[in-house]
Amino acid sequence: MAKTLTYKILEKHLLDGKLEKGQAVGIKIDQTLTQDATGTTAFLLFESMGVESVKTEVSVSYIDHNMSQFGSENHNDHLYLQTAAAKYGVYHSRPGNGICHQVHLERFGRPGATLLGSDSHTPTGGGIGMLAIGAGGLDVAVAMGGGAFYITCPKVIGVKLTGKLPDWVASKDIILKLLSILTTKGNVGCVVEYFGDGVKNLTVPQRATVTNMGAELGVTTSVFPSDERTKKFLAGQKREKDYQPLAADEGCEYDRIIEIDLSKLEPLAACSPSPDNIKTIKSLEGTAVNQVAIGSCTNSSFTDLMLVAKILKGKTINPMVEFAIAPGSKQVMNMLAANGALGDIIASGARILESGCGPCIGQGFSPADGTVSVRTFNRNFAGRTGTKNDTVFLTSPEVAVIAAINGKITDPRQAGIAYPKIDTPDDFLVDDNMIERPMSQKERKDIQVLRGETIVVPEAAKKLPDNMTGKILLKCGDKITTDHIMPAGAFLKYRSNVPVYSKYVFNCFNEADGETFAQRALKLKEAGTAEIVVAGESYGQGSSREHAALCPMYLGIKMIIAKSIERIHKANLINFCLLPAEFENVGDYDKINAGDTLEVKNLNTAIKSADSVIVKNTTSGFEFKCKLNLSPRDREILLAGGLLNFTKSF
């Protein structure tokens, strides 16, 4: 039978279960990726598993998120991660070497492999034909130890690309178009697979922009075929040996087909506060802009920045705009420096930031109150920039750089600037001097893992009580992201210290002078009362940060009842033994209130085998049903008291 590319790769990696849609299957993970903001917990949990050395083909630990280093926390994390990588046979990409996804694409990704990363934008690797999936740090730790990774056997959405992008229309506009069609909701359990004649007209970095921001669709991953373009990219990276051609079989069936004619696309923007709030640039023309940022794992490749440099050459940034550029990797920065493009960028007045996540995760460059920024990033959730009341437009580098010059959003096709044709380089500047390779077993023996005082081993998860009485501590609405649950930005430096980081759970819902969510939660925890959070659709969308489960667990939260819960977050909840439950009748959401007390009887019996539980609201006397959408393995993990206990039980 003709197969999709997704199923061809899955088939080669199947370890447990049957490849039948909707069924849970365990797959072999060839490569893993961790970054510093999720990596410290991942490595602390990996260490507690007692495995001597990673069992994957390649595991890489990147330092790219937390590099502002106000206080000792960040550097403590760096030293821990560097020594832990050395101890356990992991590649270590030092701070300054670049953003994990960009560097992984350049130096490690290979077509046909599976990659599991403790970052939701791991699907960037789909641009090179890998099945690259984002997950919580504990899942990645288990994969580093050689364990299978479990997914729901996906539905495959085929996106047929035809034609060629017109001048000034970028690959970013492909994914923005797709976000306008599929939105950020309702795509859990799907993989997006690209095919069609238009594919050959896109370079690997262009494809990677598309698969990167595919994370915002809430899908398991996105994948492109591997073809002559892939071969050229790998050859340029001096890794042609990693090439293999890959494509779906002729005549394979997709669960849904969406056609996008590249030649008919136009410049688009995602408007605040959601990546699926798409408008045409034409309709936004004239909007005054105060800040522009180019970079992030979505749009910081060499070709992206060459285009920006060519447009900037000889021009000065508008006086009303602050403009920052963060090249995606040392390779990109070095190549721009070597060919003089960096000089053109600097001369224009752009501020050069180091190669890392930077403003994308609110590490500096927060805009002024009430102002507008244009960013080439992938997320524009409220508050993510570090400013609560700003407006963010997510666009292509083309649109962003012209906004920086003009001080307002301008349709690049009408800007009176000649479109700069950028040739993809035949050779990239390859120098892996900032990547430390794994050492021999003998050398590793003497390595001391450095665990600074701000690094605290997370508390172990506990089994759920059989009869649970709990209070609804918070009732929130739709599309609550992990940024709402566990803010990053200025609080990112507390990632390795759960008791401290937990103080900021649901920080955005706290009143300036009232009792915080964390304070209220800790009081109930001390009194021995379980706590419950109620939410609307797509709870937990966005990042893979398991702190959005780990910190609520620390505060005593035991159950989340939502209209729907996103994939990675749901897995993280289960891994830390918080029960994810979904309203059977979404209308029941309106019948319960914050402060109500809920009661669930015989919870563990239900977790063992039932598809739903009855929840009694003892405050109002109202009873309702919650679905337990759990695989047999999810059930076992919950009954064992979380993934770590479950893994140790073997």
Q: How far is the CB of 26 from ligand SF4 (least distance, A)?
A: 26
Other C-beta atoms closer than 10 Å to the C-beta of 3 total 17
Region 341-360 residues binding ligand SF4, contact defined as CB under 6 A: 357, 360
DSSP secondary structure string for all residues of 373-439: EEE-SS---TTTTS-TT-EEEE--HHHHHHHHHHSB---GGGS--PPPP-PPPSS-----TTEEPPP
Residues making contact with ligand MIC (CB under 6 A) = 37-38, 65, 119-121, 134, 361, 488, 542-545
For ligand MIC, give the closer residue by CB, 28 or 384.
Answer: 384
Q: Which of residues 121-180 bind ligand SF4 (CB under 6 A)?
A: 121
Core vs surface per residue 240-255: b (16+ CB within 10 A) or e: eebbeebbbeeebebe
Beta strands 612-617 and 623-627: pairing type?
antiparallel
* Contacted entry of ligand SF4, ligand MIC, none for residue 296, CB cut-off 5 to 8 Å set by kind: ligand SF4
* CB nearer ligand MIC, residue 120 or residue 502: 120
Interface mask toward ligand SF4 for 434-473; x: CB under 6 A: ----------------------------------------
- Among 436, 162, 417, smallest CA distance to 310 is for 417
Minimal distance in Å, beta carbon 179 to ligand SF4? 15
Choice between 360 and 550, CB closer to ligand SF4:
360
Contact criterion met (CB below 8 Å) for 128 and 109: yes
Instruction: Confirm or reject binding of residue 361 to ligand SF4 (CB under 6 A).
Output: yes
Which pair of tokens denotes residue 163? 């034609």
Lateral strand order in the sheet of 31-35: 131-134, 114-117, 31-35, 58-62, 91-93, 435-436
- In whole angstroms, the minimum distance from the beta carbon of 24 to ligand SF4 comes to 27
How far out from the chain centre does Cα 625 lie? 32
Look at the block and give the residue holding tokens 């039932």: 610
The interface partner of residue 544, options being ligand SF4, ligand MIC, none and the CB cut-off 5 to 8 Å by kind, is ligand MIC
Beta bridge partners, 608, equal none
Rg (CA), the chain: 24
Residue 598 in contact with ligand SF4, rule: CB under 6 A: no
Q: Count the residues of the shown chain that bind ligand SF4, applying the rule CB under 6 A.
A: 11
Q: How far apart are CA 190 and CA 211, in angstroms?
A: 13
Binding of ligand SF4 at residue 217 (CB under 6 A)?
Answer: no
* Closest distance of CB 142 from ligand MIC, Å: 17
User: Which residue lies nearer to ligand SF4 by CB, 411 or 483?
Assistant: 483
Helix, strand or coil, per DSSP, at residue 57: coil
Closest to ligand MIC by CB, 133 vs 199, is 133
Nearer to ligand SF4 by Cβ, of 158 and 359: the residue is 359
Which of residues 99 and 607 has its CB atom nearest to ligand SF4 in the complex? 99
Containing 605, the helix (H) or strand (E) segment is helix 603-609
Q: Which does 366 bind (CB under 5 to 8 A by kind): ligand SF4, ligand MIC, none?
A: none
- Residue 545's binding partner among ligand SF4, ligand MIC, none (Cβ under 5 to 8 angstroms by kind) is ligand MIC
DSSP annotation of 541 reads: B
Provide the mask over 78-117, with x wherever binding to ligand SF4 is found by CB under 6 A and - wherever it is not: ---------------------x------------------
Pick out residues in 373-402 that bind ligand SF4 (CB under 6 A): 377-378
Contact 502, 554 (CB under 8 A): yes
Is the CB of 227 or the CB of 354 nearer to ligand SF4? 354
Distance from C-alpha of 122 to C-alpha of 64, rounded to nearest angstrom: 14
Give the footprint of ligand SF4 on this chain (CB under 6 A).
65, 99, 119, 121, 296-297, 357, 360-361, 377-378
